[in-house]
Chains A and B, each alone.
Chain A
Amino acid sequence: MTAAARPSASACPACAAVPAAEALAAPAAQAAPLMLSLPTAHCAVCMSTVERGLGAVPGVRSARVNLTLKRVSVEAEPEVTADQLIAVLDGLGYEAHELDAGSLNTTETDRRGRDLLMRLGVAGFAMMNVMILSIAVWSGAEAETRDMFHWLSAAIALPTVVFAGQPFFRNAWVALRAGRLGMDVPITLAILLAAGLSLYETIEGGRHAYFDAAVSLTFFLLAGRYLDFRTRAVARSAAEELAALEVPRASRLQDGDEVTVPIAELRVGDLVRVRPGARMPADGVVTEGRSELDRSLLTGESLPVPAGPGSTVSAGEVNLTGPLTLRVTAAGRDSALQRMADLVAVAESGRNRYTSLADRAARIYAPGVHLLSLAAFLGWLWVSGGDVRLAVNIAVAVLIITCPCALGLAVPAVVTAASGRLFRRGLLIKDGTALERLAEVDTVVFDKTGTLTMGTPVLRNLHDHSRADLEIAAALAGASAHPLARALADAAAAEGVGPAPLSDLREVPGRGIEGLWQGRRVRLGRAEWLGAEPVAATATWLDTGEGAPRAFTFADRLRPGAEAAVAALKAQGKRVLLISGDTEASVADLAARLGIAEWTAGALPKQKAARVAALAGQGARVLMVGDGLNDTAALAAAHVSISPASALDAARVASDIVLLGQDMAPIAEAAQVARRAVRRIKENFGVSLAYNLIAVPVAILGLATPLAAALAMSASSITVSLNALRLR
């Protein structure tokens, strides 16, 4: 396998010169099917386009889209790389990100999901059969016939309750041992008491048995549990598995040979080679080579920084133009990357533990229900003059009728509907309470580079240059992987300017590109290299040998939807701030373009977090939107946080919501959907409360029959679910 034999998988042409880069990528592809995230896929046409497109790539055996998870899994020959497929999908008009198949822990998630679904199915089956038998009793079966139906119901219901109720029993046991009364304790008590009392009544030949209630309780609550699980599983799998940006391997120089080793094995003092386009595996000092570094993810600086022998580099920075050799000064736990992660841990521990609405409801609900049913028991014991069987019957009826069927569905049904809707718009809710917190937000803090902007420059003054100059510049730029050069080449190509015929093209790392044009030396590169006067804006210079060097200036490209998102958030009455680590000029320019009045430039990671904490101290509920390592602490410190999928791993982990697509507009919509979702949750609590207000007195008076309980329970559960569906 040589680099020339197939299209270069790496984005930069320079990598093609280093066949080892491909060799490094190949073993990863061999192990498992490739998984790509497809945030913009949404319809039948998308599925067939993607599957057909990928199927046509040589070496691909099969491709299958999963629209629910917005993912495609590709089985391919080992030499097919994810980058290649991403390029193909890009050509088809679909954005794609690689998912790390190695860390795809789907088996565990699948197993738990199937387990819940299986119990749900069993409970559903039992519920329907017991209901049919119960209808016979309700419609007036007497004596032996009734007893037979009761025994049949018992034969179906008891094993079902034991099997399907296990998730609740387990949670209740854990809660009790920790000395808490969660939602699961009253649930467990109600299910077990309903089943136990019914069994006793059946043995005694009594009139009322609540087998149907025990089973349908289990069914409805399992449905809520499953919805809850599903929302979280979809979010967790997609968020964690966006491929880690931290390089897992480094090439260490040993006795003049390059050896690929896992990063964990790097030691201080090792010599490491970093190719153009690759990330620094550890902190170090450059010993050899000249290049430029993209530090935007660490510091927010949008401009590449030159590096040469003696410059220090931090893990996570991207090497852009020339190969570098580093002497490692700090690896693993001591590296800058790790220190940043520690900062996050500190910020995270300081975050107020948010109590979800469901927990708050349960905290009032559980003791209330138990006291009520105890009161009913004691009251009837006293009234009836010691009829224990009657008192227990009524106490259990109270417990069953107040059992939080609707309450157990109230939150999961709404959260599922809301996050499903946001997922279709490209937002992934990672945390169950994120929606509730998002609904409270009144202040939004944006990061600049990589968040509001794409971190990729666009040429601004194309039309200031003559066509001849443009042709030369395009030809020179085409030879480099430097972001400014690429932007220039793209802009020229979009304008229909073809590259001039140049010879002897050569990249001078850290400086620029030079070549020969009609026997003249032409150069494109840094101001200092060409002896030009630097200007304030991001720029590269062209020297054609005649006249002074000419500047090509660039601006950072706005993320699509950024303007709309900022405008919509302001229209919702939220305070919008911009805090960036970039230079004052570029931050001011962007703030003016977006109409953000409050902005801060040159902020260090610690200052960002401190600013967010200060805002929170003033009583503001802060939504932080950021992508870089420098934002991570601030993301963790904020009330709720959003990061784009292109963000560094640590930032995505620290945030509650991940923006899957490039478009930023869904953020404003998310804030609105969150507010509506919280309103629905509260409505649902209201529905359950109203139903309890009517049903509880009936139960306490001893008038509740199993039929009444079944009707009320189903009616309230269905009302709550339908109310949640209004969000979709």
Chain B
Amino acid sequence: MDVLAYLIPISLLLGGIGLAGFFWTLRKGQYDDPEGDARRILSDEWDDRPKP
């Protein structure tokens, strides 16, 4: 059961990274146009970097 002492902090850390990632996407406005983003991948006019 000693392994729990490593695994639990690791799992919480990984989850925390996911949460931080979610906050980042939220701040960047990535949920502002879910419908449009779903369609935009069909467009062949891709660009190298996301538009501001």
Contacts and interface: CB of A to CB of B under 8 A. Distances in A.
Interface residues of A, number: 25
Interface of B: 1, 8, 11-12, 15-16, 18-19, 22-23, 26-27, 31-36, 39-40, 42-43, 45, 51
Contact of A67 (B19, B31, B35, B51): B35
Interface in A433-464: none
A67 B39 contact: yes
A66 B39 contact: no
Given A64-B51, A67-B33, A122 B19 contact: yes
A117 B31 contact: yes
Given A66-B32, A68-B33, A117-B31, A128 B39 contact: no
B18 A118 contact: no
B33 A121 contact: no
A125 B19 contact: yes
B36 A68 contact: yes
Contacts of A122: 19
Given A47-B43, A121-B23, A66 B8 contact: no
B36 A67 contact: yes
A203 interface: no
Nearest to B38: A67
A129 B43 contact: no
Contacts of B34: 68
Contacts of B12: 129, 156
Interface of A: 43-44, 47-48, 52, 62, 64-69, 110, 114, 117-118, 121-122, 125, 128-129, 132, 145, 152, 156
Given A114-B26, A118-B23, A129-B12, A44 B42 contact: yes
Contacts of B23: 118, 121
B39 A118 contact: no
Contacts of A43: 39
B26 to A, nearest CB: 6
B9 to A, nearest CB: 10
B31 to A, nearest CB: 7
Contacts of B36: 47, 65-68
A267 B28 CA distance: 48
Nearest to B52: A62
A263 B5 CA distance: 71
Nearest to A115: B26
B33 A69 contact: yes
B33 A44 contact: no
Given A121-B26, A145-B1, A156-B12, 20 more contacts: A44-B40, A47-B36, A47-B39, A48-B43, A65-B36, A67-B33, A67-B36, A67-B39, A68-B33, A68-B35, A69-B33, A121-B19, A121-B22, A125-B18, A125-B22, A128-B15, A129-B11, A129-B12, A132-B11, A152-B8
